[in-house]
């Protein structure tokens, strides 16, 4: 962009009440030393906003009475135990996709019957544990179905399902689209003979009672998601008609509602998602099927931000560059796919107060040692100065919670904040401590520092 044009997402401060809460949180975090020279980057999560988002999800589905729904949170979107425990307290279940996520869900206090295990590569040991705990399991392939059949005991409490790929196509971000013709996930329904094989698999396994689908996430419009879910609903009807009984009693419709990164408005809303589903598959809401959802990003993204200190500024090629401590290590997707994952940037002075002034075209770069580590290209922002702070908005999911250890950069601290029922605050609580350099060294094999040289010393002399 040029100095006379403004790209989507380039505004320096989002409008609305959330902006005021976040601005006050930044100011207080700087005053309290949660952001500063000793701690130059941290993640922040708005606890009040999270509760409001969960309420909006529940209310959207409650608008269709008589439909039993288990809303689960996709743990990968924020794999932090205090965050998961907050969501459990809000009435959510948990969707997990690895042994680590299952452990975190258990530690966070989710009851086994409110946990759903998905992933395309579950080991036998992972399946044994899930079946012993009684968590729901969605098989990803016919091979996994056979494995579950071998491992399950008749008294297992686990609800067992099969993931299908309705092959309705992809959205604007190919990497986030899971219902394409060659997706690695699920059984491809439109492949020759595949649908018949799925129906037969259910007929042969009375313990198989759930269908699962997930069309994709960011970049997939609600209409495409609804189309894939409608295909899965039709398959459930076909299976039950074929076996002559209500064997399929539940449909896991996944998550994937995209997030608006252009401004502060929440769109599409969960109510828009429900409206699209009712238009595409009205029978889904007649009470015959227990529904499961698996939302992640759409619940948390707008309720979090990253704050980072500006260490230096410089000019290159006629453009100002702000060098900060927030880069690819915590904004990996944005750095490598900036068009698909743009982030809005706020600029605050050294005391945490919003900066104003005439805009100038600037880059906001991170600390990683490669040239592409830039989180915002050619943005019109108030002039950024050394010792200022920048804020990356809409980063409550997938950013600070799952950092990348490039350059052995330590994981940042994460804090939750709340203004309380009377609006006083913000009050902060630690979610994850900043990683120490001792911990970085230990994680990098310090306890085995001599292991390889010891192998060399054992070699016979030439």
Residues 264-316 have pLDDT tens digits of: 999 999 999 999 999 999 999 999 999 999 999 999 999 999 999 999 999 99
**Torsion on CA atoms 78, 83, 88, 93, rounded to nearest 10:** 0
Two tokens, residue 261: 């990164």
Tens digits of residue pLDDT in 366-376? 999 999 999 99
**pLDDT of residue 15 exceeding 50:** no
Q: Identify which has the larger pLDDT, 174 or 41.
A: 41
Q: Is the confidence at residue 122, as pLDDT, over 80?
A: yes
Distances (CA, A) of 378 to 93, 362, 364: 41, 5, 8
250-185-96 Cα angle (round to 5) = 60
Q: Are strands 304-316 and 389-393 parallel, antiparallel or unpaired?
A: antiparallel
C-alpha distances in angstroms, 167 versus 63, 231, 268, 415?
29, 9, 23, 40
Q: What is the pLDDT of residue 14?
A: 36
Q: For the chain, give every residue range classified as CATH 3.20.20.10.
A: 48-299
Looking at residue 6, what is its pLDDT?
32
* 396, pLDDT greater than 70: yes
Q: Is the pLDDT of residue 318 over 60?
A: yes
Question: Looking at residue 332, what is its pLDDT?
Answer: 96
Q: pLDDT at residue 83 above 70?
A: yes
CA 91 to mean position of chain CA atoms: 18
In the chain, ranges of CATH 2.40.37.10 domains: 17-46+302-443
pLDDT digits (tens, 9 = 90+) for 320-366: 999 999 999 999 999 999 999 999 999 999 999 999 999 999 999 99
Res 419: pLDDT: 92
Identify whether the C-beta of residue 146 lies closer than 8 Å to the C-beta of residue 124.
Answer: no
The CATH architecture annotation of domain 17-46+302-443 reads: Beta Barrel (2.40)
Cis peptide before 426 (omega within 30 of 0): yes
Using a cut of 0.85, tell me whether the model's pTM lies above it.
yes
Strand 290-295 with 136-139, pairing: unpaired
Tell me the per-residue pLDDT of 172-230, one tens digit each, with 9 for 90 and over: 888 888 888 889 999 999 999 999 999 999 999 999 999 999 998 888 899 999 999 99
What is the assigned CATH class of domain 48-299?
A: alpha beta
Average pLDDT over residues 412-418: 97
Secondary structure of the chain: what % helix, strand, coil (to 5)? 35, 25, 45
**Angle between helix 81-89 and 99-108 (nearest 10):** 50
DSSP string across 4-66: T---TT--SS--SHHHHHHHHHHHHHHHTTSSSSSS-EEEEEEHHHHHHHHHHHHHHHHTSTT
- Between 176 and 432, the higher pLDDT residue: 432
Interval 103-110 mean pLDDT: 98
- Comparing C-alpha atoms, which of 69, 74, 164, 178 is closest to residue 116? 74
């Amino acid at each position: 962009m040029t100095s006379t044009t403004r790209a989507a997402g380039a505004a320096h401060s989002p409008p609305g009440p959330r902006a005021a809460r976040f601005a006050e949180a930044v100011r207080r975090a700087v005053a309290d030393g949660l952001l500063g020279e000793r701690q130059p980057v941290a993640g922040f999560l708005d606890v009040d906003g999270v509760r409001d988002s969960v309420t909006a999800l529940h209310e959207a589905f409650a608008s269709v009475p008589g439909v039993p729904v288990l809303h689960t949170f996709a743990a990968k979107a924020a794999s932090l135990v205090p965050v998961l425990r907050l969501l459990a307290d809000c009435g959510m279940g948990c969707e997990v996709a690895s042994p680590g996520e299952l452990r975190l869900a258990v530690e966070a206090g989710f009851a086994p019957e409110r946990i759903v295990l998905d992933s395309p590569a579950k080991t036998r040991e992972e399946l044994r544990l899930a079946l012993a705990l009684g968590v729901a399991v969605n098989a990803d392939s016919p091979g996994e179905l056979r494995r579950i059949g071998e491992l399950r005991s008749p008294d297992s409490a686990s609800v067992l399902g099969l993931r299908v790929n309705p092959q309705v196509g992809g959205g604007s971000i190919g990497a986030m689209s899971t219902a394409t013709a060659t997706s690695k996930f699920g059984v491809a329904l439109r492949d020759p003979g595949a649908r018949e094989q799925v129906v037969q698999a259910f007929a042969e396994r009375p313990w198989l009672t759930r269908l699962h689908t997930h069309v994709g996430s960011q970049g997939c419009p609600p209409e495409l998601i609804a189309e894939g879910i409608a295909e899965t609903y039709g398959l459930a009807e076909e299976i039950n008609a074929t076996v002559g009984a209500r064997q399929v009693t539940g449909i896991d419709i996944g998550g994937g509602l995209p997030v608006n990164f252009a401004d502060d408005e929440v769109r599409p809303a969960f109510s828009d998602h429900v409206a699209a589903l009712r238009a595409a598959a009205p029978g889904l809401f007649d009470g015959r099927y227990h529904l499961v959802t698996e939302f992640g990003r759409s619940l948390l993204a707008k309720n979090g931000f990253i704050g980072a200190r500006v260490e230096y500024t410089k000019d290159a090629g006629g453009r100002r560059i702000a060098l900060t401590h927030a880069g690819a290590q915590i904004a990996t997707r944005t750095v490598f796919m900036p068009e698909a994952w743009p982030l809005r940037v706020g600029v605050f002075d050294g005391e945490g107060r919003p900066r104003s002034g005439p805009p100038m075209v600037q880059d906001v770069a991170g600390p990683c040692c490669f040239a592409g580590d830039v989180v915002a290209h050619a943005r019109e922002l108030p002039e950024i100065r050394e010792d200022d702070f920048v804020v990356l908005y809409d980063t409550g999911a997938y950013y600070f919670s799952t950092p990348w250890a490039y350059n052995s950069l330590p994981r940042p601290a994460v804090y939750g904040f709340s203004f309380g029922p009377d609006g006083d605050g913000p009050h902060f609580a630690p979610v994850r401590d900043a990683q120490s350099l001792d911990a970085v060294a230990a994680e990098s094999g310090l306890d085995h520092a001599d292991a390889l040289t010891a192998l060399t010393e054992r070699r016979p002399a030439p």
